[in-house]
Structure 1
Amino acid sequence: MARPGARRRGWVGWALVLAFVVMPILEIYVLIQVGQVIGAWWTILLLIADSILGGWLVKHEGRRAWQALTTALNSGRMPAKELADGALILIGGTLMLSPGFVTDAFGILLILPFTRPVARRLLTQVVSKRLVVVGTPLGGTTQQRPRPGPDGPVVQGEVVD
């Protein structure tokens, strides 16, 4: 019988192989193919333009996500969508930092406001599978117990003079 953590380690191992072996080989292949079609200098110029566009896009969308997060917090509601957008923009910006067209394409897809909702749904599914919710069975109530302090249990209360 497989150990409980073996499945997770297998998934992480394949993700690392994909990130550190397959992606660089794919990036080099695409760079060579683009360079053969448009020339080496145009390929370099295109990579530079792509980086400049990505930097501007990350700055612009990051500012919008920060404003949305601030608005949600000030209105007193849980900023789940805004936090997910911020995480996706951060991941997309990180992908834009690496040289290559494939990672830049994935990064732009995570940053653009009209493609981000699809990535947000995927991120929500992944996080919700890993999230463990602890509650009481069938909506029962929980009892609060005094928390232990340095001199024994601490009883919360109100001081009246």
Structure 2
Amino acid sequence: MLRFLFALFILVPLLELWLLIEVGSGIGGLSTIALCLLTAALGGFLIRYQGLSTLVDAQKRMAHGEAPVDHGFHGVMIALAGVLLFTPGFITDSIGFLLLVPQLRQLLINKALPVVQIPGSPNNQGQARPHDPLVIEAEIVSEEKHHRS
């Protein structure tokens, strides 16, 4: 794992530098710099929008008594997308923009977390949640309710 990270920190900047030089030789140095600044600005706008949207959706779910488990993972991926988009380069920008696609983030979350569907659960509206063997679902039935019927 350490070798992989070391190779990643060496190879990605070298590939970014090579690609920036290639693009710069094709469209010019100032145009390349302007393009990098444009992707950072656009990325900043999208990150702010999606971050606030994710936060508002998480608050709505908590208000309805649901645990917004996957929203935390969405938030981490949005933050990672921000780091990648503000790092100069086209490869990191491409990965950053891909992480801003909600369906792709959900796919990555589904691949990373084991999930189960809980039939009959009030929160189970086609959504999955992480499997927790310590959670037992139960229904509380009061005696008063039975005596009135």
Instruction: Tell me if TM exceeds 0.5.
Output: yes
Amino acid at match of 1:125: K
Alignment match of 2:90 (pick from 88, 93, 101): 101
Supply the RMSD in Å over aligned alpha carbons. 2.5
Cα-to-partner distance string for 1:22-44 (whole Å, 9 max, x where unaligned)? 11011001101110110001001
Q: How many correspondences in the alignment?
A: 122
- The change in CA–CA distance for 1:133 and 1:77 in structure 2 (over 3 A counts) is closer
Q: TM-score, normalised by structure 2?
A: 0.71
User: Which residue of the partner structure matches residue 121 of structure 1?
Assistant: 107
Query: What secondary structure is seen at the aligned counterpart in 2 of 1:65?
Result: helix
- The change in CA–CA distance for 1:132 and 1:63 in structure 2 (over 3 A counts) is closer
Query: What secondary structure is seen at the aligned counterpart in 1 of 2:41?
Result: helix
- The change in CA–CA distance for 1:43 and 1:121 in structure 2 (over 3 A counts) is same
Q: TM-score, normalised by structure 1?
A: 0.67
For structure 1, the residue ranges without an aligned partner over 5 or more in a row are: 1-10, 140-161
The answer as to whether partners of 1:88 and 1:120 remain within 8 angstroms in 2 is no
The answer as to whether partners of 1:91 and 1:107 remain within 8 angstroms in 2 is yes
Distance, in Å, in 2 between the alignment partners of 1:14 and 1:48 is 30
For structure 2, the residue ranges without an aligned partner over 5 or more in a row are: 115-129, 137-149
Structure having the higher Rg: 1
The answer as to 2:42 corresponding to 1:53 is yes
